Chains A and B, each alone.
Chain A
C-alpha cells in the first residue's frame, strides 16, 4: 500500500461521482472546513463535475488565511531585529502584513528561515546561543501538538533563547460562528480529517444535535472527499443529521490522547482574532502562563503592535462562505497571488488562490498575466 494512488483512482472516483449525482434530488450546499480539502476539490475539478448535485463552500480552515494581520505585523517586527532568527513554515513567508511580508524582511537582511518541523527551530536555537530564535506557531489542532512539543522540548533542555509567536486556532468555535450567522447557508459539513486525527470527534456531536446538521469527518484525497460528499448527500436526502466518519484509516472517536495531553500541558484556550472574520471567543490556543518565558509576545513586549485590516479585502466574506472568490471585484485584478490583498490569495490552500490558479478557465474571468 502506498496510501496515495489508491485514493486517487479515476475509475473509482467516477463511480462515486455517478452515485452522488444519482442520489441528489436537489442541489445541496456543503462546506469543506479545511484548506487542504479545498485544494483537492479545485485541483481535481470536483466542484465542477458535481455542480448539479452540490455547491461546495470553502470554509475557514486555512491556517495561513486566518492568521490575523496583527500577528503577521508582530512576526515582521521580530524578524527585522538583528538579534533574532525567525523561523516559520514556508507559506507564511508571503502573507502580507501592514507594510510588507517576511520575504521582504529577508531581502532587507532579516534572518528568516523555513523549517519543516518546529523541533528544527529548537535545534537552531541550541546551535545559535547568541541569537534569539522565534518560531511562528500557527495552524489548527493539527500543528498544535508538534508546536507544543517544541516548547516542551526547549523547556526540558533548558533552552532559554527559544520562544514562539503563537497564533493557534481551533475548528469547533469557528463552525459555531458560521452556524450562528443568520446568513449561514451551509447544510452539511465535511470536517477536517487531520484535525480529527488529533482531537477525535467528541466535540462535533453536540453541534450535530444542536444545529441539526450532518457532519462527516473527511480525508483529503479525491476519493475521501467524494465519499464524504456522498455520505453528506445521503444524510440530507434521508433527512438525517448524524456524525459519520469517512476517514476511518486515520481517525478514531477519542483521537490521539497523548497529543491532546501534550497540547493541554503547553496551551490554554484563549479568545482569538481571525483574519477577515474577527474575534471568536474561545477559538484560539495561547501559551499557559507558567510557560511565559517561551512566549515571544511577552519576551519582546509585542502587545503594543496593533493593526487594522484593509477595507478592500473581502476575505472575511470568502472565509465565511458568503462570497465566491471570483465574485469579489478585486479577484484577479487588484488581488493576485503576486500582489495579494488578503491571505486567501496567498496560500495554495487559500480559497482565492485555489480558484485563481485552478479555476480561472471556468470562472469566466479574464486571464491575468
Chain B
C-alpha cells in the first residue's frame, strides 16, 4: 500500500532521464533538451542576453542593435528529397535571425569533415550553401574547417553563426505573446522530418515527401511591413515540431495557448505519420513559422504571409488565453479538450 511517507522517500528502482550520460533525447528539442539547458548551461553562462532564450540574442555594438544567432547542423542522410544539409545550415540561421525580427546580413561557417567524405558530395553541399546564401542576401564572411578520423563524424557537421540588423521598432520576442493574440502558422507541417525519415529508413510512400527547407526572412519582412510591432512573437517550428515551439512560447510568455483550428498537414505526410505511429505536431519543420499577432492584425498578417509561396497555406490555428498558463491545449472535433504537452525526448514509434 502506498503511503505519504513512501512517496516522499521513494524506494523505486526506476531510472531518471537525468542519467550520468547524454542520450539522444537531450537533442530532441523536448523536455530533456530544456532540462539540459536549465541545469547545465544556464547556471554557468546565464546573463541578460542568454536568459531571454530567444532564437538569437539582441546585443548592442557601438550604439547599433545587432542580433546574433548560431546553430549546428547534423543530419543523416546528408541529402534528402527537397534539399541537403547545406540548405539547412543557411536557412536555419537565417530563420533564427528573422524570428528575432532582424534582417540577416552576415554568416560564419564551421565544418567538421569526416575522413573519406566524397568530394563530389561536399561540392553539392557547398553549392547548396552558396545558392541559398545568395538567395537570402547574406554573405559568408569567415569560416573554419577541421577533418576527423573516419567514423568520428556522420560525413560532415556544420555550424553557422549569423549577424542581422533590426529595423524601426520591430521587436518580436518569446516573452511577448499576450492573451487575445491570434496564432498563425505559415504552412503545412511535418514535411522536413518525414522526408528525412523516409530517406534514412529507405521508406517509399505513394507520393514523394519533400523537405520544406526555406528562408522565412521574406515572410517576416512582409509581416513587418503589414502589421509592424503588432506581430508580438515569431518562432520557427524546427526540431520538436509545432507542439514544442508552442510550449516554449506558452512558458516564456506565461500564457495559455488554445488550438481551435486544425494545423494543415499534407495528405502524404499525414499518411506516413499514421503508418509510422508518429504525431505530425511533433515532427520537425525547416520552413514553417508560428506568428503571435494582436487580434486586430490577424487578417493583415494572414494576407502578408499568403503573398509568399512558402506562406500560401498560412492559417489561423488558435489563440492565446490567460487561462491554463504554461499549457498548450487543443479543442477536439468532438468538443473535448486535451493538453498538447512537450515530449520528454524523441518521439518513439508505437508498437501497434
Contacts and interface: CB of A to CB of B under 8 A. Distances in A.
B134 interface: no
Interface stretch (A150-158, A254-262, A267-275, A308-316): A308-316
A338 B336 contact: no
Interface in A80-134: 89-94, 96-101, 103-104, 106-108, 114, 116
A54 B267 CA distance: 34
Nearest to A9: B333
A100 B19 contact: yes
Contact of A139 (B17, B31, B341, B351): B351
B31 A338 contact: yes
A103 B351 contact: no
Nearest to B352: A142
Contacts of A337: 341, 343-344
A138 B274 CA distance: 21
A204 B23 CA distance: 44
Contacts of B348: 90-91, 93-94, 114, 348
Contacts of B44: none
Contacts of B242: none
Interface in B1-52: 2, 4, 6-7, 10-17, 19, 21-25, 31-32, 35
Interface stretch (B59-67, B159-167, B173-181, B323-331): B323-331
B308 interface: no
B350 interface: yes
B151 interface: no
B10 A43 contact: no
A90 B12 contact: no
A361 B12 contact: no
B81 interface: no
B15 A362 contact: no
A13 B333 contact: yes
B19 A312 contact: no
Q: Which of B10, B277, B333, B352 has the most CB of A within 10 A?
A: B352
Nearest to A61: B352
B339 A358 contact: yes
Contacts, number: 170
B349 A116 contact: yes
Contacts of B24: 103, 106-107
A357 B326 CA distance: 14
Contacts of A97: 15
B29 to A, nearest CB: 14
A49 interface: yes
Contacts of B345: 94, 103
Contacts of A339: 14, 16-17
Contact of A107 (B22, B276, B277, B326): B22
A359 interface: yes
B265 to A, nearest CB: 11
Given A93-B348, A96-B15, A369-B326, A357 B339 contact: yes
A49 B32 CA distance: 34
A140 B352 CA distance: 10
A106 B345 CA distance: 14
Interface in A3-54: 4, 8, 10, 13-14, 17, 36, 42-49
Contacts of A328: 2
A359 B31 CA distance: 19
B334 A222 contact: yes
A187 interface: no
B105 interface: no
A141 to B, nearest CB: 10
B351 A361 contact: no
Contact of A10 (B6, B325, B326, B334): B334
Interface of B: 2, 4, 6-7, 10-17, 19, 21-25, 31-32, 35, 201, 251, 267, 270-271, 274, 276-277, 324-327, 329, 332-341, 343-345, 348-352
25 contacts: A2-B267, A44-B336, A45-B335, A48-B336, A89-B349, A91-B350, A96-B15, A100-B19, A103-B23, A104-B23, A116-B349, A310-B14, A311-B11, A312-B7, A312-B12, A334-B10, A337-B344, A338-B31, A338-B32, A341-B10, A349-B350, A349-B351, A357-B341, A361-B338, A369-B326
